[in-house]
């Protein structure tokens, strides 16, 4: 386990700079065993009950002192059943987890339509009718600029339906804010 104040969604990528000895050891073990590791979300100095299993896609750079930059990708959400900050004789921590069942079910037509509307409103770009045919809640959530606490709320939602309700409410809020900002801009005339 590599606890961080960060949440990745399945399919999302991120570059990490590895400098602590325990995480250098973790990465080396994962590479040697072609294994994944977990990133439980740390919020207000507490390790959360949920996190994301990640795989190492690439070692971008290795430094002379053993530090490295790696590219990771979110694979699957997990719920932490137990956590130990050190897994002796290793330096890094470990946990007992329950993995989320694959969420490969297609996003509802209502969520797809709302996402298209949001993308048009926010980016003024049209989206093909079939653009979300294979989209699930996580692939749609990756289009939004969620903070880590917002992503955490999404991954801890128990069912795909609950995740959709959360996404729809966030998209509606974002759309409301964009429309309000546009109305305010329309009221001001530059000299």
Q: How confident is the model at residue 13 (pLDDT cuts 50, 70, 90)?
A: very high
pLDDT band at 189 (very low <50, low <70, confident <90, very high): low
Closest CA to 99 of 78, 68, 75, 124: 78
Domain of residue 50, residue span:
13-99
Q: What's the pLDDT score for residue 187?
A: 75
How many domains does the chain divide into?
2
CB 17 within 8 A of CB 67: yes
How far apart (Å, rounded) are the C-alpha atoms in residues 80 and 48? 8
Assess whether 87 and 114 both reside in one domain.
Answer: no
* Chain centre to alpha carbon of residue 121: 24
Percent of the chain with pLDDT over 70: 94
Question: In the predicted model, is pLDDT for residue 3 greater than 70?
Answer: yes
Is 8 part of a structural domain of the chain? Answer: no
Residue 1 domain-assigned?
no
Q: Read off the pLDDT of residues 21-41 as tens digits, 9 standing for 90 and up.
A: 999 999 999 999 999 999 999
Q: Are residues 46 and 95 in the same domain?
A: yes
Query: Per mean pLDDT, which range of 42-56, 119-133, 139-153, 165-179 is the poorest?
Result: 119-133
Task: Indicate if 83 and 145 belong to the same structural domain.
Answer: no
> In terms of domains, do 113 and 95 share one?
no
Q: Is the pTM of this model over 0.85?
A: no
> What gap in Å lies between CA 4 and CA 42, rounded to an integer?
5
pLDDT band at 183 (very low <50, low <70, confident <90, very high): confident
Residue 155 inside a domain? The answer is: yes
The answer to whether residues 121 and 180 belong to one domain is: yes
CA distances from 67 to 13, 33, 84, 99, 124 (A): 20, 19, 24, 30, 42
135 and 90 co-located in one domain: no
CATH code at 19? 2.30.130.40
| 18 and 82 inside one domain | yes
Return the pLDDT at 7: 95
Of 99, 117, 139, the domain-final residue: 99
Please write the tens of the pLDDT for every residue from 74-111. 999 999 999 999 988 999 999 999 988 766 678 888 99
């Amino acid at each position: 386990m590599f606890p961080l104040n960060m949440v990745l969604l399945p399919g999302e990528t991120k570059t990490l700079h590895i400098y602590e000895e325990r995480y250098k050891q973790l990465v080396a073990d994962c590479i040697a065993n072609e294994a994944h590791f977990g990133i439980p979300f740390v919020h207000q100095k507490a390790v959360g009950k949920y996190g994301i299993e990640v795989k190492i896609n690439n070692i971008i750079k290795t430094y002379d002192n053993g530090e490295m930059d790696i590219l990771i990708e979110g694979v699957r959400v997990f719920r932490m059943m137990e956590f130990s900050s050190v897994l002796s004789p290793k330096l890094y921590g470990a946990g007992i987890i329950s993995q989320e069942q694959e969420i490969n079910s297609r996003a509802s037509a209502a969520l797809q339509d709302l996402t298209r509307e949001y993308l048009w409103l926010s980016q003024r770009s049209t989206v093909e009718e079939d653009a979300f045919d294979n989209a699930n809640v996580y692939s749609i959530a990756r289009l939004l600029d969620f903070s880590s606490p917002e992503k955490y709320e999404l991954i801890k939602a128990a069912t795909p339906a609950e995740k959709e309700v959360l996404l729809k409410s966030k998209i509606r809020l974002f759309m409301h804010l964009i429309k309000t900002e546009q109305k305010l801009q329309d009221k001001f005339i530059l000299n």
